[in-house]
Amino acid sequence: MVAHINTVAFQGVEARLVDVQVQMAPGLPAFTLVGLPDKAVAESRERVRAALTAIGLALPPKRITVNLAPADLPKEGSHYDLPIALGLLAAMEVISAETLSRYYVLGELSLDGSITAVAGVLPAAIGANAAGKGLICPESCGSEAAWASESIDILGPGTLVQLVNHFKGMQVLSRPEPGMAEEAGQLPDLSDIKGQESAKRALEVVAAGGHNLLMIGPPGSGKSMLAQRLASILPPMDAHEMLEVSMIASIAGNLTDGRISPRRPFRSPHHTASPAALIGGGIRAKPGEISLAHHGVLFLDELPEFSPRVLESLRQPLESGQTMIARANHHVTYPSRFQLIAAMNPCRCGRAGEPGHTCKRGRKCADDYQAKISGPMLDRIDLRIEVPALSAADLVLPPPRESSADVAKRVYVARDIQHQRYRSSPGSNTTNAQADGELLEKVATPDDAGLQLLREASDVMQLSARGYHRVLRVARTLADLENVENLGRIHIAEALSYRTSSLELRSAA
C-alpha cells in the first residue's frame, strides 16, 4: 500500500502541490528518499526516524521508499519532515490516510518529537484553501496560517504526540487565531528635524505619491535622519497589500510568531550587500531586500558605495515592480514594487559645492564620485534634492511644531484621492508613481500654461521620455496634495525643480 500526504514546494510566493508517497514493501530494511530533495530534505530521514522513536514507535523492518512527486520540481527546506512522518504513520495505519488526505501538511521535526516553525506557512495555507483542503502546521505558525481564510481548517500541534492524540480523539487541537504584530515602539518623528524645510516637503511628496527620492548633501546634514522618518508619514497598508507583504516575509522566514503588521516595510541594506542579498537568489532562491521592501521603502544610504553591479541590477525591478531569478531549471518571480530612497554625499570629501570649500582633487573629486551613479539609474529617480548643511543658528531654533502625525494626515488624503482615481483602471497601481502610458496621459495632462512650461523645460533640461513622464507624475501628486484636479504651471514648476540638482548641473557643465 502507498500512503499519500499533500505538502507544498515554493516557487516564488506560490505554493505548488507536492504529493508525498510512502511505500512499505517486504525486503531488506532500508529507508530511501527520492524526488529531487536538497540536503535539508535528505536529512529529514534521520529527524523523522528519531521523532518516531521519541513517541515510542519504531519503523518496521521493511523496505521504505518515500517519493516526493512531481519528481522534476526541486524540493528545498525542512518543512517536509512532518509530511514524511505522517506518511509513515499512515502507512503503519496509526492514523487514517483518508483523514490526512483532507490536509496540506508542513513542519520540521526535532529529535524529541516536537514540531518547530518553518518558513512559508501563509502561502501554503492560501494554497490549501484554494484547493479546498485544511492545513497542519507548527503551533507557532498557526496564527500566520489563520490569515489565509476564516473558514480553513487549521491544526497547529506543538508535538507529534499532540497530533496523533488529536486524530485518535484523545485531545482536541483548537483552531489558532490570526495574530497582529504589536508595534515595537514609536517610529522616529519628523519633529526631531530642525530646518531642512524643502527636504521635508520633498519627503511629504514622496510619501504621498510613492515616488523615488535621492538626497545629496554634506555629512551630518540630516539625510539619514530624514529617510528614517519617512516610515512615520506613510499610510498603513490595506488588507490586500498586507497579505502580499506577509507572504514574502513568510517565505523569507521573517514573520515573528506568525504575526503580521500593517506597517509598511522599511529596509535599509548595508552598502556591502551582495546582488543575491539585494535582488534575491542564492542557494534557495530566497527573496532579496527589494522584495522584502514590497509596498514599502528600500533605503540605500551612501548610494555610490554600493557596487555598480548591485546598482545596475536594480534598474529592471524599478521599472517592472517584480524580480525574476533564473535558476538552473526554472524561474522564480517575486513581487518587488518598492519605493527607492537614496542618500549620498556630493563628493568623497563630502562638501563639494559648499561656499568656500574646494576639494583637494578639484572638480575631479565630485565628478568621479558622482559618476558611480549611472545615467539610467538617475533617470529612474523622480525627485533629486539637495540637503544643505545646517548652520548653528538653525540648530538652536526650537523644534518645529509640525509632527509626523500632521504630515501623515495630508499624505493619507492624497493617497485616498489616488486610490479612488485608479480603482477602476486596469492593473494594480494605486499611486501616481505607478501610473503609466495612456492612463498617465488621462490623469495628468497639464493646462496650457503648464504644458508650455514643460515643453520649454524639457528642451533646456534635455529630459528623456521617462523623465518627462516622471515630471508629470510628481506634478499630479503635488496637485493631489492640494486636492485640486487641474494640473497647473505651479505644479509643473515645482516638479521640475526636483529634477535639478548639483548632480545634473555638474554633468551638464
Ligand X SMILES: Nc1ncnc2c1ncn2[C@@H]1O[C@H](COP(=O)(O)OP(=O)(O)OP(=O)(O)O)[C@@H](O)[C@H]1O
Which residues in this chain contact ligand X in the complex, by CB under 6 A? 193-196, 217, 219-225, 343, 345, 390
* Torsion sign (Cα): 438, 442, 444, 448: positive
Q: Which of 53, 110, 198, 224 binds Mg ion (CB under 5 A)?
A: 224
Query: Is 4 or 506 the residue whose CB approaches ligand X more closely?
Result: 506
308 binds, among Mg ion, ligand X, none (CB under 5 to 8 A by kind): none
Determine the Cα–Cα distance for residues 100 and 3; give it in Å rounded to an integer.
10
Distance, CA of 58 to CA of 51 (rounded, Å): 10
Question: 149 vs 224, which CB is nearer to Mg ion?
Answer: 224
Binding part of the chain for Mg ion, among 50-58, 81-89, 221-229, 232-240 by CB under 5 A, reads 221-229
Alpha-carbon Rg for the chain, nearest whole angstrom, is 27
Q: Which does 390 bind (CB under 5 to 8 A by kind): Mg ion, ligand X, none?
A: ligand X
195 binding partner (options ligand X, Mg ion, none; Cβ < 5 to 8 Å by kind): ligand X
Q: Which three cell numbers stand for residue 51?
A: 521523532
Show the cell assigned to 434.
505607478
The full DSSP string for 191-212 is: GG--S-HHHHHHHHHHHHHT--
Minimum CB separation from Mg ion for residue 341, in Å?
12
Give the nearest distance from C-beta 197 to Mg ion in angstroms: 19
Provide the minimum distance between the beta carbon of 70 and ligand X in the complex, in angstroms, as a whole number.
51
CA distance 77 to 15: 13
Least separation in angstroms between residue 219's CB and ligand X is: 3
Q: Are 111 and 155 in contact (CB under 8 A)?
A: no
Q: Which is nearer to ligand X, 209 or 388 (CB)?
A: 388
Phi first, then psi: what are they for 115, rounded to 5°? -105, 120
Of 223 and 470, which has the nearer Cβ to ligand X?
A: 223
CB 27 within 8 A of CB 16: no
Tell me the C-alpha distance between 449 and 70, whole Å: 63
Binding of residue 268 to Mg ion (CB under 5 A):
no
Distance CA 248, CA 255 (A): 9
Closest distance to ligand X from the beta carbon of 39 (Å): 41
Cα–chain center distance at 260: 13
| Closer to ligand X by Cβ: residue 116 or 224 | 224
Of 45-53, 69-77, 223-231, 290-298, the segment contacting Mg ion by CB under 5 A is 223-231
Choice between 43 and 189, CB closer to ligand X: 189
Query: CB-wise, 394 or 456, nearer to ligand X?
Result: 394
Minimum CB distance to Mg ion smaller for 224 or for 256: 224
The entry of ligand X, Mg ion, none near residue 123 (CB within 5 to 8 angstroms by kind) is none
For the CB of residue 224, give the shortest distance to ligand X in the complex, in Å: 3
Hunting for cell 501616481 — which residue is that?
432
What whole-number distance in Å separates Cα of residue 496 and Cα of residue 292?
31
Which position has the grid cell 502507512? 91
Residue type, 36: L
CB of 32 vs Mg ion, minimal distance in Å:
55
Which residues bind to Mg ion, rule: CB under 5 A? 224
